[in-house]
Amino acid sequence: SEPMTGLQRDLYPPIERLENGRLQLDELHTMHWEVAGNPDGQPAVFLHGGPGAGASADHRRFFDPGHYRIVLYDQRGCGRSTPLAETRANTTQHLVADLERLRTHLGIERWLLFGGSWGSTLALAYAQAHPERVSGLVVRGVFLCRPHEIDWFLTGMRAFFPEAWERFAGYLPEAERGDLLAGYLERLNDPDPAVHVPAARAWAMYEGACSTLLPSPETVAAFGEDKLALSLARLEATYFANGVFLRENQLLDEAGRITDIPGVIVQGRYDVICPIASAYELSRAWPRAQYVVVPDAGHSAMEPGVRRALVAATERMKGQA
């Protein structure tokens, strides 16, 4: 028999979805959702990153399919939700409301939220808005979306990934490199695919290159795929330009709203995209959460130590109904 790869060994085996559907959110946006695992199990919802990255079948594999009713969906504007890369009527408040609509649609009373990177932001924003609907939280690669964290993504990461940053900044004409966000936004929002597609690939491949501790050409290639790159880059840039539609320190200021919710914070020590300081601050503001630092990992959920810690976290959260 074939030797098992680390990925096969660390995560639950691949499973098929049980059901899927489309939910009309408003006159513009329609959400793709799916359910897998145990139809009568403890409800858990996976919040993907980005904003704009979309969910994939491997995301089901962080949960015991015999125990959990696993909900995956694509946030508005990305993945299989339509229209793709649409920035109109697309804010953090819309995404929180969409999650409530999905919960009601599926007849779920309370659910476990599982999200990394931007998914951790959205999980915290939703939990603070609707604490009574949250049985627990598993957050990874914590991103609190404060101005200095957004600036770090745009320019600070050059301290660790100067080559990737030079390609990212160098995509723009020299005269525009003083404001990378404005330069990219102009191109990402240009209606001509000959303008927005290469700009999106340059943005997304920068993120992919910085997201793992060790070089991962597969990760960079996946980020560079046109459809993913466009929704990821356009939505990230738009959200960043708007301070992700939250008050500057909102997620820490409102941490008291989730004091009673159990949770696990999983953080790679060498996460360059979302440096560990934010996860540490969240752990101080939310003492009920178990704080797990993975000593040999970067940002990606698929880093070996991170994925093992995330599976351990979903095991720990069993029975928090």
Q: Supply the residues annotated as catalytic.
A: 117, 271, 299
Q: How far apart are CA 286 and CA 262, in angstroms?
A: 9
252 burial (CB, 10 Å; 0-12 / 13-18 / 19+) is: middle
Q: How far apart are CA 82 and CA 22, in angstroms?
A: 10
DSSP state of 156: G
Cα-based distances in Å from 5 to 26, 112, 175, 260: 43, 28, 47, 38
Q: How far apart are CA 62 and CA 220, in angstroms?
A: 22
- Tokens 């125990």 — which residue? 67
Cα-based distances in Å from 232 to 64, 249, 272: 29, 24, 18
Q: What angle do CA 249, 46, 66 make, to 5 degrees?
A: 140
* 274 neighbors 119 (Cβ within 8 angstroms): no
41 burial (CB, 10 Å; 0-12 / 13-18 / 19+) is: middle
Torsion of CA 102, 52, 36, 310, to 10 degrees: -110
Give the helix ranges, DSSP H, for the chain.
Answer: 6-10, 92-105, 118-129, 147-154, 162-170, 180-188, 193-209, 217-223, 226-241, 250-253, 276-285, 304-316
Residue closest to 199 by CA, chosen among 211, 208, 186: 186
